[in-house]
Structure 1
């Protein structure tokens, strides 16, 4: 990783300190209108494609139970197949709550300022200081030689390759990696005018650009040979892969698809990839549409999510040695913390 990308990492971490469908669930289609705050008997939560798989139904239901117990209202889950659907569903009031990346929250808030963050998961310290996950650029294991730079790795040779992003509304699957790529390559005369828009499709910087639709999908694009390099995050593939060699979240680390991995990894057990770049990203929030969610319910939700009871609930914060598939892991002091809109300004700054 070159100095420009390291600078981006340092800036994000510094700004953090300063201030990722099944059963009876329905697919989001924008057909259910939002009501007046407090008048609703059902609260609807929208999920990104990353969290919409059948293997995560129990995890979604456990979150739903927190909401039901806190508000006394029924919870309906809307799983989606597209980031834009989830973002628009919350912004338009067709969903009341959503779990979304920082970029998705920013886009929803820009569409409707009544969309506000509720909570985020903390870092290992139990604070916001290390409340980050990681955006990876990865290659198939065995194909890493062109990206080596002495004892480390460089992204110099990703130009001209077939590349997979997640979605252009993904924080760690597009916004952060594209900014890192532009920052790195714009220092070279050949690419001094490079912009993030140039990365959206093939022919300008990459040979071909694919979109996985989810972090899992982007990883599968890489492992099935459709892409030479792919962007996806640690958080969203953690249930499907395991460390095979090296140090976690470090360039050079190798990960392997678990033998019993669920879809879409179930057809490629044992396939391996190697990380060539790692960038920290602000943790994903639960966000609410305050036009639909009353002040009373909002307060109750914050109190419930940030409680010690939830922090110690092993179905929510899943221990490392657990066989459960969860959305959040427990290694030390992880918990949910209330957060304000301004906490996401570091991601907003990437678009300026």
Structure 2
């Protein structure tokens, strides 16, 4: 079975499984049962993989260890299968902390989640949060040299809720005159979209010829997949780059309370980075966090994501309507 038919058969089921996992299986915080430090006995931390990962939790181990040390709580880590699961889990009050892509963070707020950013991830010490979406094709594909050439093609996206794998690409396609809006219906009218499920899966499908072109975020293509031997340098060519996108962000459910959130912000901003984690003995080696392989976390505010909200308006994405 090729990628397209496989994804069509599994996307709906996977999305429902992810939503059920987070909304139904998680207990969330229990305000009636707090520990001596004022935190819930159990804190639920949810995330989705940026790449096809069977063990996402391993990349969050330093985060989990730090949280348990600083809060006295047991951290229940939940790997959801899609963005909708994490957003719905936060809205339902069954997720205490989540790691969001920028679009998912904005969509969560639009749809009623009351949440506070704790910090955005950066790739290296001293860096500014942010990344870019790439429009990609095979290096030897002479027929595709820009987004206008995506019209009528089989195009790999990541997930309809992905910032760099759908929202910003749809804005680029509108600007290039390929799509009328960022709605899934208008994208489907302009090309054949294939939702790969992960940034790495999208890039691999392009390299294999399952998609004529597609999208993934910069570090995945330039660094991660090359270091893992999944792509060769120069195997794909980048025919489009988005503007800088606000960084992926850790956010807290406001149900945790202002005092607990203030404590968590301090922990994330001051102690959730490779230098501090190594000094505390909470990780070894290169000490990267999340499957974005970030160096650490820096302060972030809700207004940092106004650019994403603007792209929501430009694309007319139905997910931005609430």
SS in 2 for 1:196: coil
Q: Tell me if 1:277 matches 2:277.
A: no
Deviations 1:298-330 (A, max 9, x none): 1221111111673514769xxxxx666653557
CA distance in 1, matches of 2:197, 2:67: 27
1:197 pairs with 173, 183, 193, which one? 183
Partner of 1:141: 139
**Residue 221 and residue 301 in structure 1: after superposition, are their counterparts in 2 closer, same or farther (change >3 A)?**
same
Tell me the SS of whatever aligns to 2:137: strand
Higher strand share: 1
Equivalent-residue separation in structure 1 for 2:159 and 2:211 (angstroms): 15
Verify the 8 A CA contact 2:52 2:201 in the aligned structure 1: no
Q: Does 1:219 align with 2:189?
A: no
Partner residue in 2 for 1:98: 98
Partner residue, 1:19: none
Where does 1:304-319 land on structure 2 (aligned, <5 Å)? 304-307=267-270, 310-313=273-276
| Corresponding position of 2:150 | 158
Superposed CA offset, 1:21-45 (max 9, x none): xxxxx95353334345474211111
Work out the number of aligned pairs and report it: 281
Q: TM-score normalized by structure 2?
A: 0.76
Within the candidate set 244, 252, 258, 1:288 is matched to: 252
CA contact (8 A) 2:274 2:287 kept: no
Q: Specify every segment of 5 or more residues in structure 1 that has no aligned partner in the other structure, as ranges.
A: 1-25, 149-153, 243-256, 262-267, 317-321
Structure 1: distance between partners of 2:28 and 2:105: 18
CA contact (8 A) 1:198 1:205 kept: no
Match of 1:177 among 155, 169, 173: 169
Q: In structure 1, how many angstroms separate the alpha carbons of the residues matched to 2:105 and 2:54?
A: 24
* Pairing 1:32–2:26 present: yes
1:338 equivalenced with 2:310 (yes/no) = no
Separation in structure 2 between the aligned mates of residue 309 and residue 283 of structure 1, nearest angstrom = 15
CA contact (8 A) 1:46 1:80 kept: yes
- Give the CA deviation at 1:269: 7.6
Write the distance in 1 (CA, Å) between the matches of 2:221 and 2:302: 27
SS at match of 2:265: helix
2:90 and 2:113 in contact (8 A); partners too: no
**Alpha-carbon shift at residue 276 of structure 1 (Å):** 1.1
Asked if the contact 1:70–1:300 (Cα under 8 Å) also holds between the matched residues in 2, the reply is: no
Instruction: Write the distance in 2 (CA, Å) between the matches of 1:103 and 1:68.
Output: 28
Q: Please state how far the C-alpha of 1:224 moved relative to its aligned partner.
A: 2.6
Structure-2 residue corresponding to 1:209 = 193
Structure 1 position 52, deviation (Å): 7.3
